[in-house]
A = this chain, B = another copy of it.
Amino acid sequence: MALTRRQIEDAAMEILRSYGLADLSMRRLARDLGVQPGALYWHVKNKQELLGVLAGQILAAVPEPDGGRPDGLEDQASGAVGTPEAGSSGDGRGSVRQLALDIRSALLSVRDGADVVSLAQAMTPETLPAINTLRRLLERGGLSAQHAAWGARTLTHCILGSVAEEQTHADLAAAGLLPEGAERNNDDEAFLFGVDAVLAGLGLAGRP
């Protein structure tokens, strides 16, 4: 019956999904697993490492972008995105845009997902594969290695910042503490506006 690292990770993810980052403590985790807090430290180095793993799992749901230069259908468009050119086509700008949307859906699918990934990425940057893919796509889009790296970081900041804002407001709304008149229906549009601005600024053409 011995406690597994896998069980710890799963229980942690469960707390995150159901109660959010504020409720994810090592002691709470141990309680849920019916074990003493110290027991966790035989399987896990510390809380930071655990959060890093959770961040990786959250982003593992991001699909790899389609290969060379296809024109196939992209999956998982997270509801209605609004803008006309939503379908995206082949490579260059479309795939980066689609990847940004996919990262966003992955983050949104877990409570406080953006905060978890931000924490993990602050400690161990350039480690998360999804962000690395962002960089690779920019490079394939014609940017130099340096510009692609900087561009990927800029996009990452926009994505994480935007989704974190979105989720924080969702948390506040759930807690019933909203200043008043907080409509906030056009998060999708706001997100795409930011991403598209960065992409345009990086010189990624809309339609080659």
Given contacts A150-B193, A157-B158, 12 further A-B contacts (CB under 8 A): A122-B165, A150-B189, A150-B190, A150-B194, A154-B158, A154-B194, A158-B158, A158-B161, A160-B161, A161-B161, A200-B201, A201-B202
Q: Is B162's CB under 8 angstroms from A157's CB? A: yes
For A, the interface residue count at a CB cutoff of 8 angstroms equals 29
Evaluate whether A153 and B162 lie within 8 angstroms (CB atoms) in the complex, with A197-B201, A198-B201 already known. Answer: yes
Given A122-B168, A168-B122, A168-B123, are A197 and B151 neighbors across the interface (CB < 8 Å)?
yes
The answer, among B123, B161, B202, for a CB contact under 8 Å with A197, is B202
Q: How far is the CA of A172 from the CA of B48 in the complex (A)?
A: 14
Interface residues in A153-208 (C-beta closer than 8 Å to B):
153-154, 156-158, 160-162, 164-165, 168, 172, 189-190, 193-194, 196-202
A72 contacts B by Cβ under 8 Å: no
Set B122, B150, B198: member contacting A198, Cβ < 8 A: B198
